[in-house]
Amino acid sequence: MVREEAENTREDMVIDGVENGHKPNYEIPDGFNSNYLKTYYVNFFPYAEMHKWMSYGNDGKHPGCDASYFGRREFSFTLENDIYLRFQSFKDVDDLEKAIKHQCPFKIDIGPVYSVDPKKRSAYGQSDGNVFRPVERELVFDIDISDYDDVRFCCKGADVCSACWPLMTVAIKIIDTALREDFGFNHILWVYSGRRGVHCWVCDGKARRLDDGQRAAIVNYLHVHKGNEHSIKKVTLVGQMFHPFIGRSAEVVKEFFEEKFVLSQNLFSDEDRYEKILEMIPDESITSELRGKWQDKKRTRDDINVVRWGQLKYLLQSGKQKMLGVRRCVEEIMFTFTYPRLDLEVFHIPIFSFILVSKHMNHLLKAPFCIHPKTGLFNMPPFSIHAVQDTHTHGRVCVPIDPKHCEDFDPSSVPTLSRLLEELNMRPLGSGGEINLENTSLGESYRYFKSSFLHPLLKSCKEDIENAYAAKVQQSSNSLSW
């Protein structure tokens, strides 16, 4: 059941985790107890910090602040019994907190800032000039590990393990560095999706004000995969020298592929797997030679995957190989398996990851510090090489990830609803009052969000507001002097 007062006058909203043209699946799994969730919203959800973030300094008393800013931000709630509320807006933090505690949403999504209050859009929907439209939106990316299913052999679908999760680490390292060094963005928040991927929020003022074309240009810059799900060769690297971005990414990809991925996925010990790799090589004489070596069942002291990868590299990059296309095959293979995947065309063909949330301003993405509704409420087994099944996971919190230490992030160790409730129950009798989040299992994530992301962001926003106001005053003064 979807509740909305009027159709969006611009174009359909794109909801986190929903493919365009398909009916959203708002089904809440068995075992996700709304009473437990209500306890979380009463005791643990960081309302003040979320409001500060979404206000971008406009909640202050400076004359340059836009008092309507937060009230024009769209939120959406997925409630129990598949009730979905779009175009929710709130005047201040108290209004937001009251609504969440009262309605107890199983999922909270955040959308753009509109030109008018989303709740009042029906008054503008039929007017000329399309008054109701998105005017600001963070540049956002949604990276889903299930879109790597053709190159990971340990898990499929929503399952994830310690062998394949590092693909998300590679994505964070490559994209975060590019956004900072190549585009000059500073205020970037990475968040664990709560299940099988990561979300990226680029929050600089210049990022929030990008139009759809500019967002698409950034995605095109980051794009490497050119094929589709039926293409044998999905990556082609051209030129005598790599572009600095590709060269920098190649270092990350090479380290991970050679030191971990080749071994964890047993890429060369299974004939079906190594045949996929041989198909990427354009020189039939090389593939025949390698196939002959690998069909020989001779035992080696070293791991067979390492040995065969070394043989492939030697034949492709030896001095007698004059063709650049052949020599480039080594990098192309590594990029095919481990580079972040992009879908540049449409939302409903998620062949490569970065399902195209980034190209449009009106995308809704799950809020940080939500509880993922599809991870139940039961104890999770230890994170291991064996896949963690969805049925065994339990109410994981969508916590921020520090990109500087993303290789240390373990999705199985994030705070969970059941753990937080346990901590609440362990409090001494009579210790009423608000809970200090820093003293809970959310503490590390909460501190990172506040000190490393929110405080620098708000400082920058304050400077931007003051500078814009000073320029406006100066312009007004200049016009009066005439």
CA–CA distance, 346 with 344 (Å, rounded to integer) = 7
Residues 236 and 189: their CA atoms lie apart, in Å, by 31
In the set 16, 74, 159, 343, the catalytic residue is 74
CA-CA-CA-CA dihedral for 362, 78, 42, 39, to nearest 10: -150
Angle subtended at Cα 84 by Cα 79 and Cα 88, rounded to the nearest 5 degrees: 95
Q: How far is residue 420's CA from residue 40's CA, in Å, rounded to a whole number?
A: 8
Catalytic residue among 144, 147, 204, 332: 144
Q: Which of 116, 122, 120, 121 is nearest to 135 (CA)?
A: 116
Q: What's the CA gap between 109 and 214, in Å, rounded? A: 23
Q: How far apart are CA 286 and CA 228, in angstroms?
A: 25
Contacts of 280 (CB under 8 A, 6+ apart): 232, 233, 329, 332, 333, 336
- The residues near 50 (Cβ < 8 Å, ≥ 6 apart) are 96, 367, 368, 369
DSSP 8-class letter at 225 = B
What is the token pair recorded at 436? Answer: 């200090």
Q: Is the dihedral of CA 17, 340, 150, 358 positive or negative?
A: positive
Q: Which one is catalytic: 16, 97, 117, 142?
A: 142
144 is catalytic: yes
Distances (CA, A) of 249 to 224, 242, 389: 11, 10, 31
User: Is residue 142 annotated as part of the catalytic site, yes or no?
Assistant: yes
Q: Strands 107-114, 2-3: parallel, antiparallel or unpaired by DSSP? A: unpaired
| Alpha-carbon gap, residue 338 to 53, rounded angstroms | 33
Please say whether the dihedral angle defined by the alpha carbons of residues 368, 26, 84 and 146, taken in this order, is positive or negative: positive
Q: H or E segment at 216?
A: helix 212-222
Residues linked to residue 188 through DSSP beta bridges, in sequence order: 202
What's the chain's Rg over C-alpha atoms? 25
Query: Annotated active-site positions, please?
Result: 74, 142, 144
